[in-house]
Amino acid sequence: MSKFCETIDHTQVAEALRAAIAGAPAVVRAGTVMQLPAHEAGWEDTRLLLARGEEVSLLSRGVVWISRALGLGVDGKLSLWYRVGDGPIAKAIDATTSFVADRDGPLMVIARLSGDWIDETGRFDPASTLEGGALCVAAVAWRDSAAAGLPIFAEGDTTGLAANEAARIAAARPLPRGWGPLWRVGQTSIFCEAVEEGAVPRIACRCRQDAGILKYPLDLPLAADVELAWDWRVEQLPSLVAEDTVPTHDYLSIAVEFDNGQDVTYFWSASLPVGTTFRCPLPGWDKVETHIAVRSGRVGLGAWTSERRSVLADYRAAVGGPDAARIVGVWLIALSAFQRGEGVCEFACIRLGHAGGELRVAPWDLMRP
């Protein structure tokens, strides 16, 4: 297991970012720098008032701790959240991120993990799963666009954060159509649409020291004949050991979400026997998520394989209790934050078969003339 061991001089980073803001008045309308402790109980006001349609960048450096003893920590990519006024919460895509304000209001920020959220309005469980640490965060409101302002800002930014954000924006690829980030996990650059002439449309996944969930919303009765089928090619597993503990819970999977809040995820395990079932070991997720190993080991890595599962049978065996009534979404999940490795795979031909036919999940629609 790779430990997070980044050491940050917050004072030095803050001074450098303040100097960069002061040195770029031609592109910066307003900016502020603050230290954002992970142990604080509530949202913090950046004192930056935004107007609807204004472009903003958040530049962060630091670490917040999941477990100091185990050396488990994350940076802003997995812990920096923001909102404008009373708007919905959103997560930074990376340690740096840019966005367009969806309303007038103050910019608020907080350092939290996805398992802490109660709802999309920003309410959270006050018993945080973090053990301290802090992020140094610069919030920059641009006179024009982030893409135009960042390169000029970067000329005076000795931290390199602005240059990193400019490069991230330039390299960004679109999400597959019909899919969006699961609200409680936030935005991600892990997944993208992969379309090549003459090839089956695919969703590519590359997860490097990151975590993300994409959701495809749908509504289908959970009947006995419903089957989830998909093709995938897993090239690299993010874990080399069993994934059923917090320090090793890195994996790639496809999941089904139900109307009662539960979800069942099908993953390729590094070592757990096929058929192994367990509740998610992460706080918060342990109440709603169940994992089923459908493949194990290195045999088959790099090749396309096809899967088919009876959803209701798996729900009854893995979750138990009263049956859910409906399927409300399909998820793609990638996690490699704990051992700080990398997972690489592709998904294709995702569908839900039932008595009335077959519900095909995008990017199947890209194959239509």
Looking at 199-203, 323-327, 343-347, which range is the least confident one? 199-203
* Residue corresponding to tokens 């917050």: 10
Q: Is the pLDDT of residue 367 over 60?
A: no
Looking at 43-47, 94-98, 193-197, 249-253, which range is the least confident one? 193-197
Given this model, what pLDDT does residue 198 score? 67
Average pLDDT over residues 247-273: 97
Residues 125 and 255: their CA atoms lie apart, in Å, by 25
With a pLDDT cut of 70, the percent of the chain lying above it is: 95
Residues 77 and 79: their CA atoms lie apart, in Å, by 6
pTM of the predicted model over 0.85? yes
The answer to whether residues 336 and 326 touch, using CB atoms and an 8 Å cutoff, is no
Residues 70 and 75: their CA atoms lie apart, in Å, by 16
Name the residue with higher pLDDT: 4 or 344: 344
Name the residue with higher pLDDT: 38 or 99: 99
Residues 263 and 42: their CA atoms lie apart, in Å, by 29
Q: Is the pLDDT of residue 94 over 90?
A: yes
With a pLDDT cut of 90, the percent of the chain lying above it is: 78
The answer to whether residues 21 and 28 touch, using CB atoms and an 8 Å cutoff, is yes
Bridge partners of 221? 326
Q: Is the pLDDT of residue 152 over 50?
A: yes
**CATH code, 10-171:** 2.60.120.430
Given this model, what pLDDT does residue 111 score? 93
Given this model, what pLDDT does residue 199 score? 73
Given this model, what pLDDT does residue 128 score? 67
Which of the four pLDDT bands, split at 50, 70 and 90, describes residue 293? Answer: very high
Residues 6+ apart with CB under 8 A from 11: none
Helix axes 146-154, 161-171, angle to 10 degrees: 140
**Strand 55-67 and strand 326-335: pairing?**
unpaired
Q: Is the pLDDT of residue 327 over 50?
A: yes
On the question of a common fold for 10-171 and 180-367, the answer reads yes
Bridge partners of 29? none
Residue type at 8?
I
Given this model, what pLDDT does residue 3 score? 54
Domain range summary for the chain, segments of one domain joined by +: 10-171, 180-367
Residues 222 and 312: their CA atoms lie apart, in Å, by 7
235 φ/ψ angles, rounded to the nearest 5 degrees: -95, -35
152 is written with which tokens?
């000029």
The answer to whether residues 192 and 299 touch, using CB atoms and an 8 Å cutoff, is no
Residues 328 and 200: their CA atoms lie apart, in Å, by 26
pLDDT in tens, 23-34: 999 999 999 999
Bridge partners of 111? 80
Average pLDDT over residues 91-107: 97
Q: What is the mean pLDDT of the chain?
A: 92
Residues 69 and 201: their CA atoms lie apart, in Å, by 44
* Residue corresponding to tokens 């790779």: 2
Residue type at 59?
L
Residues 247 and 230: their CA atoms lie apart, in Å, by 29
Classify domain 180-367 at the CATH class level.
Answer: mainly beta
